[in-house]
Amino acid sequence: MAIIFAGCSTENTDEPLASVGEKVLYRSKVDEILPKGISAEDSISMSNNYIDKWIKQELLIQKADENLSIDQKDLREELEEYRNSLIIYKYKNELIKQRMDTIVTNQQIEEFYNNNPSNFNLNYSIVKATFVMIPGDLADPELVKSLVADTSPEGLDELRDYCGQYAKRVNISADEWISFQMLEKNFPNKVEDDETFLTQQKLYEMNDSNYYYIVSIHDYKLTNDLAPIEFVRNNIKNLILNQRKIKFLKEIEENIYTEGVRKKKFRIYDTKTN
Residues 179 and 154 occupy one common structural domain: yes
pLDDT at 243 over 90: yes
Residues 126 and 217 occupy one common structural domain: yes
Residues 113 and 234 occupy one common structural domain: yes
Predicted confidence at residue 130, as pLDDT, reads 94
Q: pLDDT, tens digit, for every residue of 108-135? A: 999 999 999 999 999 999 999 999 999 9
- Sign (positive or negative) of CA dihedral 197, 200, 205, 206: negative
Residues 130 and 191 occupy one common structural domain: yes
Predicted confidence at residue 10, as pLDDT, reads 44
Domain range for 48: 16-67
Q: Percent of the chain beyond pLDDT 70?
A: 95
Side by side, which strands form the sheet with 211-221? 169-179, 126-135, 211-221, 203-207
Residues 189 and 172 occupy one common structural domain: yes
Nearest to 245 by CA among 76, 41, 100: 100
Residues 136 and 215 occupy one common structural domain: yes
At residue 104, the 3 state secondary structure works out as: coil
What is the mean predicted confidence (pLDDT) over 202-230?
A: 94
Residues 101 and 149 occupy one common structural domain: no
Q: How many domains does the chain have?
A: 3
Residues 237 and 110 occupy one common structural domain: yes
What is the mean predicted confidence (pLDDT) over 7-29?
A: 78
At residue 10, the 3 state secondary structure works out as: coil
pLDDT at 9 over 50: no
Is 6 domain-assigned? no
Residues 236 and 208 occupy one common structural domain: no
Residues 86 and 214 occupy one common structural domain: no
Mean pLDDT of the chain: 90
Is 252 domain-assigned? no
Alpha helices in the chain (DSSP H): 27-31, 40-67, 76-99, 106-115, 141-149, 153-166, 180-184, 194-200, 229-262
Q: pLDDT, tens digit, for every residue of 77-91? A: 898 999 999 999 999
Q: pLDDT, tens digit, for every residue of 161-180? A: 999 999 999 999 888 999 99
Is 10 domain-assigned? no
Residues 95 and 181 occupy one common structural domain: no
Predicted confidence at residue 13, as pLDDT, reads 59
CATH of the domain at 198: 3.10.50
Residues 135 and 216 occupy one common structural domain: yes
Measured between its terminal Cα atoms, the distance across the chain in Å is 69
Ramachandran region of residue 21, left (φ > 0), alpha (ψ -120 to 50) or beta? left
